[in-house]
Structure 1
Amino acid sequence: MSNVKVIEPSKSSRRQRSRFIENQMRVAAYCRVSTDSEEQKTSYESQVLHYRQLVETKPEWDLVDIYADEAISGTQTSKRMEFQRMINDAVDGKIDLIITKSISRFARNTLDTLKYVRLLKEKNVAIMFEKENINTMTMNGEMLLVILSSLAQQESESISANVIMGLKMKMKRGEMVGYNGCLGYDYDPETKSISINEEEAEIVRYIFNRYVEGAGCFVIAKELTKLGYKTKKGSIRWHESTVRAMIKNEKYKGDLLQGKTFTVDPITHRRLDNMGEREKFYKENNHEPIISDEMFDRAQEILRMRSSRYNTKHDSRKFSRMHAFSSMCVCGFCGGTLIRRIWHHGTNHEKPAWQCAKCIKEGRKVCEHSKGIKEEMLEEAFVTMYNKVQKLFDTDIDEFLNNIEEALDVNSLRDEVKDLTIQIKKLEEKSQKLLDMRLEEKITEPDYNKKHHVIEKELNEFRDQREDRYETLQGEESISTRIKGFRNAFNHELKMDQFDRDILDNFIDKVIVGGKDEDGNPMPYALTFVFKAGIKFSDDFYEKVAELGTKMETEILSSYAKYDGKPAVTFASNTACGNLHIFIEEISELIISSPLQNEGTVESLIMENYRII
């Protein structure tokens, strides 16, 4: 074992930047007062005198300077010029020890205290807090930081809690809090209100109009960039996420939702989206709208449908829809998504086509029957199917949609939601008055808690009822909106001569490519167009349907096959109540059995929509 000599540390010397100084310390003092009152001025002069006398009593101390800020708040160290000068001198090696009266004099914000203590310790500069009797060089460093960190967290949490409570009270009163700018509106800081900026509002209207027409967020962003429109921040480059955020923004229909995000803790200031962990505050008709309720609701419905389609366990991609059939085509054999490829790329014969992604990436062993299909064939099939449904509309589908609309109870549900909202508002006002009485000490805390508990219980019951009614209302409004859209598409005599993407986006949910016939034989070119025609009824409607043993489905389908270079399309309804067959070659042959067995009853409306195969 080797002999190791231990060299003991020398307590009488301290290492500085470029020299050793024995038994002598360069000392600075810091003092501050927060106001310019006569009393505080006297305090300031007393502090200066105190430190001069203190240094004179210590032979081993050399006074470097006394740094003093007058009539300056301690919360913002960046505004204290003398404080900043002292820190710079310390970092430059001109100071060994800083003396100050207390932590609050050094920095009222203890987070700043912790920051500067760490900075100066790295430079071998000590700080002595007289009131707390803390010397950062003689006290255990880690223990000191724990204490200061604890103080910082306690103070920050206390301040943060008070601020949050104040903001919540403002939100409950309907006041706008933390406005960050919104394209289409100008903010008045004096009145804390927003008003329409007509020039910007035109951009907002353009975005919503294009989205409802069927354009995706990615496409709209490209259009806005090409047109040279500017964002609220002045950028001429638009992004898909910006457009999507605007479509979600309730301010454009005149409402105000606050509490969308919350701070996790006051130390890190990390913010998260409020997914229900904290309260939110919604105020209707808060300001002048740019977009009508109908258009805003239609946009949200399209957004929900697109999101639900693509936010699956295996596919969390953002929805962009660069091409008409992007993220819309599904393989009828393996369920995978079809992707767009260019056949004969780089030649005069290149053609866009759609192929099963699983088959391409994992091979035929995963999806042996799928085949690529040209984009023009998909477009041609859609045009053919649309024109056939157009001819059918006046004879059969219109009557079916009328029966569905009669079953909806939208107006009654709206009245219920409105009445419940009024009741909730009254209880919230009652709760606010009760809180004011408690703050003014007009009632005792036990009385307040007892009455507050009763009000909160009623509020929760009414809120649950409203949420339930609102969900049902949204479903039925969605049905009504889709039916209106369906009518708009087919309730006219216009024939589609060429492929129209807007109509595809508005009415087709997905396209299933490939499938098997009744005998199980693969049909790689069979196409199924699934329409957006879903309908949701009340609970007791579903119970009656369940009693009938009827399965409710939501699809309008079309099969497409290529025979001898000529497309053949077959249509038929496939519900529990009836059948409808139409063949493209023999359009005159129409076999219809009544789809409604018992007209006028709930049981007669078991079909959620029309199905064409």
Structure 2
Amino acid sequence: MEVEIIKANPVIPGDACVDRSSRKRVAAYCRVSTDDEDQIKSYNSMVRYYTDLIKSNKEWDMAGVYADKAITGTKVDKRENFQRLIDDCLDGKIDMVIAKSIPRFARNTLDTLKYVRMLKERNIDVYFEVEKIHSLKDGEFLLTILSSVAQQEVENTSAYVRKGLKMKMERGEMVGFQGCLGYDYDPVTKTLSINEEGAEDVKYIFDRYIAGAGGCMIARELNEMGKRTIKGNKWTVSSVMGIVKNEKYKGDLLMGKTYTVDAISKRRLQNMGQEDKYYIKNHHPAIVSEDIFDKAQEIRNKRNGNRCKPSVESGSRIKYSRQYAFSSLIECGYCGKIVSRRSWHSNTNHTKTIWQCSNSTKNGKQNCPESKGVPEEVLEKAFLESYRMLCDNNNDVIDEFIKRVDKALSEDSVESKLVKAKNTDTNLRSKRSILLEKYLDGSVAQDIYETKDLELVRKLAANDAAIESLKNSVNIEKVHRIRLKEFRKVLEENRYLEKFDRSVFESLIEKVILGGYDEDGNSDPYKVTFIYRTGYKDDLYGCKTRYSNTSTNKKCSNSSDEVKAVCSNCSDDTCGDGCSFVPTKG
């Protein structure tokens, strides 16, 4: 038997190599990771070296030198020239790439293999000078081992750096300072000194915040005065609150607020206890006194009291819970925005709680000029009158409410939701255990395992927070259910409420509209419209005048005739206008 050997032809029809000249188009890639003087010299030397190397070879054509300066090798998406090199390779402009070593090409094993394989599929060779590896000729095993060593070197270096930073923080040295309004930083002595111009803005923010102004209002005022943040940007709520929360302004220093998850992704998260923190009192001159700073924190915590604690994984709030009876239920009758709760004269003995259109308070009066701040007691007394009239004139509505109460008492309680949340916790932990087993037996790749495991950890953290919230709500629900039963009894006996009851209000009211127009088209910022859960609507006009004095209770007696005398628009027709109940859709 005679066997004829057909010699291999490196140029295959249809391959990317078709119509290429005999001379290889060669490009070089070089990178330095810092911008200090020695590294820049090395960078310039490498560019000259590869330019001369390629031009001196008669079999090569110069395809360019692609160089990234002061860029880390762990994240290729941050290296613009590296990405440009890959794009040119995929466009058929390059036959071979030269890199000094594997760590200069990429310090992430997955990235190294990904791009080498990508180029290899197009018959493009990558040559690593130090290791003397040609990707087209040499096996992938050695490349994998050496790239893993490069990645381990990065992780070791990162660990050494973190340890060194911790030692500095333990000694009280300031690390990671990124600039701070009101302070100048001396890089030689590593000390902070007060910048008077910026300090005035800081004092203004604290003074206004303690006086009762919110972050939106303060930001608007600063922007109107032409003030800018330390980065030259316009002020926002977050930038204002960043000043209010910063302990540096009382002369203290907290280090370790964030931490790096891993050396490869360089992802940083808020430190919720995963790493040590370092707090130094009286570290530098204070701009505001400790009393002022503590007062600001007290106000901030009080305002944030209606929100759950941040998630450990994301640092974001998980759930919003209504703190006040009218929270999220009042809508502006002029612009349709949410009406929010505010305090007037919060620093005096004449504190007054009012509800006002958030569009007006946050974005400026010009955005909703007809809205006014309505005292909370006016809204409560308006509801009491509306409720009394309901009991007087609408027995069919009362029957419907009683049915709703019975339904509410028979529906799933918080306890059942707590059981479901605990079952979810068990399922998530089981999924995480199964995922780990699959990773250990090799059926799931490391990158897929890390992504899915992180997702499960986040879900567990959110579910744990929900469980804690539900536990706190169990006792509240028990009290609420008792009050609902009492409310049912009140409705059946057709008695009047002597004072505002949140449980009764929330069980009856779907929405409240504050402000609007009367029958003649005149604006009435103190008009209050209650939309009941049954679909009935009750309009009350001029509520501030009627309910902001002690004589209101006398006017709103149990007699329906007396109610009519007070409410000039009131009608016996339950489908009429004024204070009557008008059915609405939904």
TM-score normalised by structure 2 residue count:
0.46
TM-score normalised by structure 1 residue count:
0.44
